[in-house]
Amino acid sequence: MNPLEEPRQVTAEWHIVQVQRLLTYDGGRHLDTVLVYAAVELRAAIERTLFEILYLLKEQQVSDEEVTQCRSIQGMIALMQETDRAYRKTIEFTRLVASVTPGFPEVSAIDTAYLLRRWRDLSQYCHLQFKPEDTFHSPARRFQEEGFGLVTEVLGRFLEWHLGGEIGLLALSSLRDETRQIYDKFVAGQINAAQARRMLELAEPILRRRLDLRP
């Protein structure tokens, strides 16, 4: 099926697959319109991924007013910082907990700073162009070559993340005291990732016994 005939969905995964369909259709021709559509789909994937992270940070409690604020990526980032000023550390800490907890699903290392940066970079392919000679009429189609390079790079990062696990975050309100103490030290910069992991490894059997779990 022509990718333009695909019924639209709203998940980040769908946007990513749609970029793959567009690139397959393009077949290496580096068509102008394919570049624009792929850039739009990747920006949508970035926005959806950031919203899912916000949704988890807020422990699935997002108001209608906040949803409206999320119509701009700046509003979404502001909400993330307001909810958890150390949200990037929280993402990293979640992965540390997952790495030492048997049965815990793999968690992707989503780089939110990278996503925001690339969302801005992709924007130049989605809006009106004031200087055609620097964009779609550029010498040797430099603009298109650079654009498809960017699309391929961002798509590759998304595929890497999705192969690496699920988007996941610990609910801070549910952390056991021992885990919360390690988290607080990690966020405060009192311990690094290796030290936090070692402390979690030592605490994990204690927590397991407390929860009456068996290896």
pLDDT in tens, 4-43: 888 999 999 999 999 999 999 999 999 999 999 999 999 9
pTM, whole model, 2 decimals?
0.86
For residue 39, tell me if it sits in a domain.
yes
pLDDT in tens, 123-172: 999 988 888 898 999 999 999 999 999 999 999 999 999 877 888 888 88
Structurally, the chain folds into a number of domains equal to 1
Packed helices 87-100 and 73-83: angle between N→C axes, nearest 10 degrees: 60
Q: Domain of residue 70: give its range.
A: 3-85+107-169
Q: What are the CA-CA distances from residue 205 to residues 24, 30, 134, 200, 215 (Å)?
A: 49, 54, 61, 9, 9
For residue 124, tell me if it sits in a domain.
yes
Q: Which of 2, 7, 8, 43 is nearest to 22 (CA)?
A: 2
For residue 10, tell me if it sits in a domain.
yes
